[in-house]
Structure 1
Amino acid sequence: MNIKQQALGGFTRDSDETVLVKGKTALLAMTDNVNFETPEPPLETVTEVLNDYEEKLSMAKRRGSPEDTAAKNQARKAMEQLLKRLAFYVTQTADGDLPKLLSSGFAVSSLPQKDDVPLPVTGITVSDGRQKGQMRLDFDKNNSARLYEYQLCQLDAHGLPDEWSESYTTSSSRQNVVAPLIPYQRYGVRVRAVNGYGRSDWSEMVTHVVR
């Protein structure tokens, strides 16, 4: 799965001073930057809002009245919204080109690590369904997964698997009904977890004879 790096436009956990510094850094880097010829929002608008935020931050630090603090917080919110829009524009324009991203002055997301890919699925059990020709598939919930995929295969008289089926998708780890199946046929099932960073390895095969 191709994961592209992007400009980071979130500032919720940053201090007031850090937001101001990040805003000035991005504004300076974006000015006359040939990689970003038509910034959205326009840099003039960003400059006006940043200057307003800097002024209100200075007043809040100097006087510290509730009114000054409220005005500073409102100005910060407006600044964050514009920087978030600008970071989105940078991400879309750069399209994963790291030198272009870095030239924007924004912090850049790191590439996903191997540990971000979900762990293999465990605790797989297959049992009779409520009706003939059905199986019920259950397994342990995988906290790093967004979805699950499973595949089926028939086993011959010697317990050897045939070709695996296409992949079926489920969002639940419990009470998955697999049907229609051939009664008295032994099937193998395997499951893997899926998230935005990739897919886990397939689980060990679990078998069951359909009633």
Structure 2
Amino acid sequence: MERGNRESLSSSPAAASASSQAQPQPQPQPQPQPQGLFLYHERQRLQLCLLHALNNLFQDKDAFTRADLDTIARQLQLHHPPQQKDHKWWILPLPSLVFKPHHNALTGNYDVNVLIAALEGSTHQKKVIWHHRRTPAASIDLAACHLMGIMLNTSVPRLRGFWTSRHWTALRNIRGVWYNLDSDLPAPQPFRHETHLVSFLDNTVAQGGEIFLIFNQD
């Protein structure tokens, strides 16, 4: 069973400073992390960003596996089969064994339906709420007791800008500090203040990204 790359981080003030310098972001310099804080961080592999983002969100390498997400994608396909479309004779249909309706069988690239089914299923019982693009991020109650974290879906350049793909990113509040757990980053990046997180979210939406709020139901 294939899994994405993983990286565990035992953070320190020096490590936080080094990571902020190594990976410039449209957000202020991170504040020092508490001594001895252990953050779990999976790094990007193939197009398994949803797998990485979910495990980073739960801070658990075993929260989901690629097999779990593949199974969810297959179940979605069975319950909601895609409509057949006519193809022109000069256009070849995509190979059905590789390009599935909700994911790519070779690289991953899971869609939002897999995200919702994975989180709202009987195992984790979370609630996924899409944040309307026209509503400023300042309206989000980041201190809400049932808010587990935030998932972002953005468009990112790949292969030196040769093509772009959609990318999943997890944000989570850990011990009073919000962290960007993006699998494309070399290490988790803390936000210095909630206002910086709000600006980051507004900038994400301005660049075509989507925000999904993840709530605990218990």
TM-score interval, normalised by the smaller of the two chains: under 0.3
TM-score normalised by length of structure 2: 0.21
Structure richer in helix, relative to its length: 1
Structure richer in strand, relative to its length: 2
Bigger relative CO (Cα 8 Å, ≥ 6 apart): 2
Instruction: Select the structure of larger CA radius of gyration.
Output: 1
